[in-house]
Structure 1
Amino acid sequence: MCGITGWISYDQDLTTARGTLEAMTATMACRGPDAGGVWLDTHAALGHRRLAVIDVEGGRQPMLAEHGGRTPLALTYSGEVYNYRELRAELRSHGHTFRTDSDTEVVLRAYLQWGEAFTEHLNGMYAFALWDPRTEELLLVRDRMGIKPLYYHPTADGVLFGSEPKAILAHPAVRPAVDAEGLAELMAFTKTPGHAVYKGMRELRPGHIARVRREGLTLRRYWALEADEHTDDLPTTVARIRELLEDIVARQLVADVPLCTLLSGGLDSSVITALAAKGLAGAGRGPVRSFSVDFTGHTENFRADALRPTPDGPYAHALAEHVRSDHSDIVLATADLADPAHRDAVLTARDLPVAGFGDGDTSLYLLFKAIRQQSTVALSGESADEVFGGYAWFHNPEHVAADTFPWIAARVADHFSGEGSGGRTGLLDRGLLAKLDLPGYTDAGYRQALADVPRLPGESGRQKRMREISHLHLTRFVQMLLDRKDRASMATGLEVRVPFCDHRLVSYVFNTPWSMKTFDGREKSLLRAATRDLLPAAVADRVKSPYPSTQDPRYAAALRAELGRVLADPGAPVRPLLDTAAVADALSGDAGESFRAATEVALGLNTWLASHGVRLEL
């Protein structure tokens, strides 16, 4: 998977910048624990940390493509190109020769063959920087769905870039500062394309290329969802989805290191695990390994709530038994979830105290950390809900009709952290909230998101609205989840692949009529119909239940105790941001879990401001 970073300066000689580049590269060591390297040219310095997955010996980076005794091209690359074998064969037919078996070299040669149009040939998840000394130009490229992150910071004479903000912040010319708009982005529970929270920094948008020249930086979109007429009937559509899924999973099973699946017992992860089991068995590589997360006593004492009607454990075990996977439960204790050191590790991984996921962030990190002891690559069911319409608010007329993001109307963020959460911003100072104007910020983002939706001529009514709802999820909601999964996994050196984000599948299902997506009166009708034969009936018919959250009241109590310690510290940087009366209520003995999500936000902000040197410019 890897982590990348670099520095382009047209006014300096960067061959003397090794120390700075090595410091920036070192911040990416978690993403690439197997090897590291830097490459310096007069105006370009590239850094790389490697997680070896394909061609363990030959895929070292930064990688150079030599031609005619010169070095025309240098690449630092993160991700996987799943069709690299076919591309290598095609490039050989054009006269290219290869010295490694890596997909990295295929990307280099593809650029030499097709120029900037090479992105049209790539299928995968990737973020990379490509320096061409012949023209002294840098290309920054991000995959179509934004699975892999890539940030950049324009400078007076070039650009800084990295897989994560921490790589850019390691440069001595950059200081971490956040203004009111950045803090609003942090709190809004929707991801604005291109926004990076930190002042001066941007995130390259999915499906985009940034070209850096002496004259400056320009952006070009090379891919986006388009509105096309769907002409297949229902049986053909179901068959096409199955065909795509089998091809996608087969491609994503390619690895030279141990591979597994993430299994919750929901429809999405069960489909991926079943297809992986089938594919590995057919290749003589089975059984598939699968992993689930659980909490001590959670299944036995489970209480249904508005988001989670059933516990995962019984369904995950039923699927594992059905496909005969080599299954393991990763059972986490409440003390581990509440441990400030673990929550601080998540904050460091994400560079930000992201509001809305609470203990789900910590448990995801601990799950990946445990899996990494046994496997290097994992396949996940992430994004199926966005593609196929799986969330409850897709099917709630009130939430669909709301003049805002449907997950905002459904108050999803206030419930993700557990039953009884009283709102993420419940402890923040009223004056601060007025300055941030989260309703106004969210509304402006929603208007822009609607303006970005592709339209089909003559489309109206319910189909038009559901196209909007789908597009909002695929461009604003799933980006939060993909970023969360990438940071938590790469912080532990685990590569997580997301088959449902294959752009062929996303485009095909996006243009399928909503009536077809719900033809049996349920959520994710097409996915269920295309894969029912792979699953036990109980799993195929299970109602959607999101990623689990602990229900142990000791977790909220531990947070409350930590908040009390923070507030007892007169130097705690979060104190001026808090509403003292609301904090007093949260610290009262009878508050229970009512301030759980808000307490997580307050504690995260305090650690971020205290340990990461962040300056708020409000």
Structure 2
Amino acid sequence: MCGIAGIFHVQTAKPVDEGRVRAMLAPMAYRGPDGTGAWTGPGVGFGHLRLSIIDLGGGAQPMQTAEGDVTVTYNGEIYNYRELRAELEARGHVFHTESDTEVILHGWRQWGEACVEHLHGMFALALYDARTQSLWLARDRFGVKPLHYASLSDGGLIFASEMKGLLAHPAMRREPELSAVEDYLAFGYVPDDTSIVKGVKKLGAGETLLVVRGRPLPAPRRYWDISFADREKGRQEDLEDELLARLRDAVRSRMVADVPLGAFLSGGVDSSTVVALMAEVSSQPVKTCTIGFDVAALDETDYAERIARRFGTDHRTRIVSPDDYGLIDTIAGHFDEPFADASALPTYRVCELARENVTVALSGDGADEGFAGYRRHLFQHREEMIRRLIPGPVRRGLFGTLGSLYPKADWAPRFLRAKSTFQGLAADGAEAYAASVSITPAAIRAQLFTDEAKAAFNGHRAEDRYIKAMRDAPTRDSIDRAQYADLKIWLPGDILTKTDRMSMAVSLEAREPLLDHRLIEFAARLPVRQRIHGKSGKYLLKKTMEDMLPMDILYRQKMGFVTPISDWFRGALASEARAIAGGSALARTEWFDMRRIARLAEAHRNGTSDHGRLLWQLVMLDKSLGRLFGLG
């Protein structure tokens, strides 16, 4: 796990200043505290920050072939590198280290661009081939590891693990992308297909980019996609056996490390599954860690401790206050772009705790997206059943009327909050699901922006990318389409961005065995009834683990990391809410109706409305704009 950066002159092989490459690495130093390397060649320069995990003495980067014609800098882990090495050695390749990095070099020599299809793991890499004067960028299938790039006015192409690496280059302009602000307010993160800084691009999950000197910059090429178009057949018992075998293989392959390794343990289905399977193959007690809260309704430590006792793990728990708002500036600095998933705060704390004992930690990320584990998946499935029963014109008329008349009742018990359900049933499935993943509805966003800002959007609407992804998806069923869009948009944009930035902030490598691409491909082929069954999502996963995990662990209501942001803005962060409506970075942009924002903040503080999540989004946006564009 590392950080990378580099410069490539696309048209002419102008000299590259090594000091400039190192300057791009400097703001990301926490990604690789164990070593720094830089290399320059004609018109190209690579930099690398190393967090040593495998081949501690021999895996330094940037790394070259013995002939010096191919150079790579790389962030991530290739879990099948030993198998690939054996295959390549059988083909006559000679290795000089024990690292997975060298496998990439020889894989390129053997298969060219197709080598990426042989790599199983998480990775963002840059490779220079002197024979063809070409730069090749590649990112793993799900986007676990980030890779940003941008074209400069001097003809250079720069890349880095994080945006701050690009911004350290003196020729990188800082101009805001207003449409990305609309996207952020909709989702709470800036999706991978855009950026808050104009000209900055993110290589997409499952994409490569081959740039040949002297030729125009091409579009990225997609080398992998997930398909829900086929279905597994056979008895449930056979599917359980196959799933368990795939789970075991995914976990086992991610336990290879030359440094201390452990796992996050929340006591939920996903992390408990990972820990159970780690314990099966570990000769030593698995090192686990849990963050608990001093508010009983938010605390899951009892569940985690039960799993720890069951599998004899070396378990550590730390209780923190959910009022951890003191981390706001630290969090904002690590994300660069605005990021409003408040679970980033406890994620930072659990990574911090893990790093005290281990360098690598396995997480349960990915199971909800792959096996339909979110409540919104269950709602989408049920709503689609109703849509199929009622003709469109009747449904739109009936539920559209009910949705407009029913009061918005955020304060009420969940079963009484029917307004959004009626509105969703009036729309088609893609429109309704896109609205369900939007944390600030389009109607409210429209009230926040000035008329000039809305005109500048030129018809852009954040939800449209979800709708398009669902309508173009290789799928059979509505729940397939929802999962596909989540895997393509929500997973890399929110979940994996959060885990990468928060783990790297404390120099910890996080690995996601439940995102093994072969495992997720199998999950995508499962019949819908094996994913959603009655009131339960992740059905086959839970059934498969019934012999290993307690029933109340498997079937209890999902909690997740919770932070009381609404309370914060009526207490300790009330001054932050007031500042947003005053002399803030938001006010200086002239994009927002500040009087409207002031009224929202006041209504929240006096308790007449709950705008806590929106205020959190605005605060994090304010801090990001201030840092990026000097508006603070």
User: After TM superposition, is the score higher than 0.5?
Assistant: yes
How much has 1:88 moved relative to structure 2?
Answer: 1.1
Distance (whole Å) between structure 1 residues aligned to residue 583 and residue 152 of structure 2: 38
How much has 1:539 moved relative to structure 2?
Answer: 0.8
Q: Which residue of 2 aligns with 1:446?
A: 466
Conserved? CA contact 2:244–2:544, under 8 Å: yes
Q: Which residue of 2 aligns with 1:129?
A: 126
Conserved? CA contact 1:427–1:599, under 8 Å: no
How much has 1:199 moved relative to structure 2?
Answer: 0.9
Q: Which residue of 2 aligns with 1:119?
A: 116
Distance (whole Å) between structure 1 residues aligned to residue 269 and residue 453 of structure 2: 39
Partner of residue 270 from structure 1, selected from 255, 269, 272 = 272
Trace 1:193-208 onto structure 2 (pairs within 5 A): 193-208=192-207
Matched pairs, number: 581
Q: Which residue of 2 aligns with 1:419?
A: none
Cα distance per residue 1:220-267 (max 9 Å; x no partner) = 211111323423332221111100000110010111111111111110
Cα distance per residue 1:411-436 (max 9 Å; x no partner) = 66369xxxxxx999599445477457
Cα distance per residue 1:375-417 (max 9 Å; x no partner) = 21111111101111111111115665643466654366369xx
What is the identity, as a one-letter code, of the residue corresponding to 1:288?
A: V
- Does residue 95 in structure 1 map to residue 74 in structure 2? no
Distance (whole Å) between structure 2 residues aligned to residue 57 and residue 328 of structure 1: 30
Q: Which residue of 1 aligns with 2:624?
A: 608
Distance (whole Å) between structure 1 residues aligned to residue 582 and residue 625 of structure 2: 17
Conserved? CA contact 1:159–1:212, under 8 Å: no
Q: Secondary structure of 2:149's match?
A: strand
Distance (whole Å) between structure 2 residues aligned to residue 155 and residue 568 of structure 1: 36
Partner of residue 143 from structure 1, selected from 140, 145, 149 = 140
Distance (whole Å) between structure 1 residues aligned to residue 620 and residue 446 of structure 2: 14
How much has 1:572 moved relative to structure 2?
Answer: 7.4
Q: Which residue of 1 aligns with 2:319?
A: 331
- Does residue 378 in structure 1 map to residue 361 in structure 2? yes
How much has 1:516 moved relative to structure 2?
Answer: 2.4
Q: Structure 1's 443 and 413: CA in aligned 2 closer, same or farther, altered over 3 A?
A: closer
How much has 1:7 moved relative to structure 2?
Answer: 0.6
Q: Which residue of 2 aligns with 1:531?
A: 545
Q: Secondary structure of 2:573's match?
A: helix
- Does residue 557 in structure 1 map to residue 571 in structure 2? yes
Q: Structure 1's 573 and 362: CA in aligned 2 closer, same or farther, altered over 3 A?
A: farther
- Does residue 410 in structure 1 map to residue 406 in structure 2? no
Partner of residue 347 from structure 1, selected from 326, 332, 345 = 332
Q: Which residue of 1 aligns with 2:374?
A: 391
Partner of residue 580 from structure 1, selected from 595, 605, 613 = 595
Distance (whole Å) between structure 2 residues aligned to residue 274 and residue 476 of structure 1: 30
Q: Which residue of 1 aligns with 2:223?
A: 222
Q: Which moved more, 1:383-392 or 1:26-35?
A: 26-35
What is the identity, as a one-letter code, of the residue corresponding to 1:505?
A: L
- Does residue 315 in structure 1 map to residue 335 in structure 2? no
How much has 1:346 moved relative to structure 2?
Answer: 1.2
Report sequence identity in percent. 32
Distance (whole Å) between structure 2 residues aligned to residue 609 and residue 10 of structure 1: 31
What is the identity, as a one-letter code, of the residue corresponding to 1:599?
A: L
Conserved? CA contact 2:151–2:199, under 8 Å: yes
Q: Secondary structure of 1:331's match?
A: strand
Q: Which residue of 2 aligns with 1:75?
A: 72
Cα distance per residue 1:43-89 (max 9 Å; x no partner) = 1111111111111111110011123xxx1100000000000111111
Distance (whole Å) between structure 2 residues aligned to residue 380 and residue 332 of structure 1: 20
What is the identity, as a one-letter code, of the residue corresponding to 1:590?
A: N
Q: Secondary structure of 2:75's match?
A: strand
What is the identity, as a one-letter code, of the residue corresponding to 1:236?
A: D
How much has 1:478 moved relative to structure 2?
Answer: 1.3
Q: Which runs of 5+ in 2 are unaligned?
A: 388-423
Partner of residue 469 from structure 1, selected from 479, 482, 487 = 482
Q: Structure 1's 615 and 20: CA in aligned 2 closer, same or farther, altered over 3 A?
A: farther
How much has 1:15 moved relative to structure 2?
Answer: 4.1
- Does residue 498 in structure 1 map to residue 499 in structure 2? no
Trace 1:582-601 onto structure 2 (pairs within 5 A): 582-587=597-602, 589-591=605-607, 594-601=610-617
Cα distance per residue 1:351-391 (max 9 Å; x no partner) = 11223x13x22222232123222221111111101111111
What is the identity, as a one-letter code, of the residue corresponding to 1:38?
A: A
Normalised TM-score (structure 1):
0.87
Q: Which runs of 5+ in 1 are unaligned?
A: 303-309, 416-421
Distance (whole Å) between structure 1 residues aligned to residue 586 and residue 205 of structure 2: 38
Distance (whole Å) between structure 2 residues aligned to residue 484 and residue 4 of structure 1: 18
